[in-house]
Structure 1
Amino acid sequence: MTADNSFSRLDDDDYPAYTMGRAAEMIGATPAFLRAVGEARLVTPLRSDGGHRRYSRYQLRIAARARELVDAGTPIDAACRIVILEDQLEEAARINEELRGSPSTSRHRADA
């Protein structure tokens, strides 16, 4: 692996760079909280060769959002479901925006 390749991982939101302890510290939670959001299938950390959980920045943003909801009194299972739905809505809005901007969609609307 070249130095350029290893440094490019620093910019990759999906690269599992953080151990459970560090990830928990970064989002102000406990390792037990991260295990709970994993059990609720909100995030699925990758495993190191030694079997340790590793989290990406994207996963930490998702877990941090769930932590905000839990801190506001939402049960953890409900918080995880809310975050999943928010993520799906955001993705649907992004796809919708792409489709609105595509030339074939614009042309099709003009024919109607």
Structure 2
Amino acid sequence: MAGRQGAGGGSPFGDPDAAVFVISVAAELTGLHPQTLRTYERMGLITPGRTGGGGRRYSQRDVERLRQIAELTASGTGIEGVRRILELENQVDALAARNGELVDENEHLREALRQAALRLRAAQAGEPASGAPSSGGRLPVLRRPDPGQSMVVWRRGR
């Protein structure tokens, strides 16, 4: 299709942000007039990429956004309403990404806490730092009990 170009001969379709469509192709894909695309750009609703010579290049993500704008305006939403909807969607996307980061961080912290708790229990029991019970039939190092406390020592059967 005219207006597509890929770097190094690779397909541009793997990257939805690759600016590959000239304005006439983007207009055809969205069903909008090229002048409408220019107007949306002036209003800040869309920001296409530019070639070295200043020509507009639209990405697949730009085309999807233009289709969304067209659907919203066709359903009676005014341009300021469209602008607000797009802003809110961007906020939702940013919050979802941050939430994912926090979930990952929380999982890492839980694992670190679990490992620290295992090391603490092992240290309190006199076991090796790995948290694994001592092997080879050796008894763990015992601390002197406080006066008035009882201590039972046994050896695990083989």
Which range is displaced more, 16-25 or 95-104?
95-104
| 2:8 corresponds to | 5
- Which string of whole-angstrom CA distances, capped at 9 and with x for unpartnered residues, describes residues 10-38 of structure 1? 32111110011110110111112211221
11 and 106 in structure 1: CA distance in 2 versus 1, 3 angstrom threshold = same
Q: Give the alignment's TM-score, normalised by structure 1.
A: 0.78
Unaligned runs of 5+ in 1: none
| 2:36 corresponds to | 33
- Give me the identity figure in percent: 32
Higher RCO (C-alpha 8 Å, min separation 6): 1
For residues 36 and 63 of structure 2, the distance between their equivalents in structure 1, rounded to whole angstroms, comes to 12
Unaligned runs of 5+ in 2: 1-5, 115-158
| 1:48 corresponds to | 51
| 1:76 corresponds to | 79
For residues 78 and 24 of structure 1, the distance between their equivalents in structure 2, rounded to whole angstroms, comes to 22
Cα distance, 1:106 vs. partner?
4.3
For residues 105 and 72 of structure 1, the distance between their equivalents in structure 2, rounded to whole angstroms, comes to 47
Residue of structure 2 aligned with 1:89, choices 89, 92, 95: 92
Tell me, yes or no, if the aligned pair for 1:99 and 1:105 is still in contact at 8 Å. no
| 1:62 corresponds to | 65
51 and 96 in structure 1: CA distance in 2 versus 1, 3 angstrom threshold = same
- Which string of whole-angstrom CA distances, capped at 9 and with x for unpartnered residues, describes residues 52-80 of structure 1? 21101111111211111111111123212
Runs of 4+, deviation exceeding 3 Å: 104-108
Instruction: Name whichever structure is richer in helix by fraction.
Output: 1
Give SS of 2:10's match. Answer: helix
Which range is displaced more, 14-23 or 25-34?
25-34
For residues 82 and 59 of structure 1, the distance between their equivalents in structure 2, rounded to whole angstroms, comes to 16
- Over the aligned positions, Cα root-mean-square deviation in angstroms equals 2.6
Give SS of 1:18's match. Answer: coil
Cα distance, 1:105 vs. partner?
5.2
Aligned length: 108
Cα distance, 1:44 vs. partner?
1.1
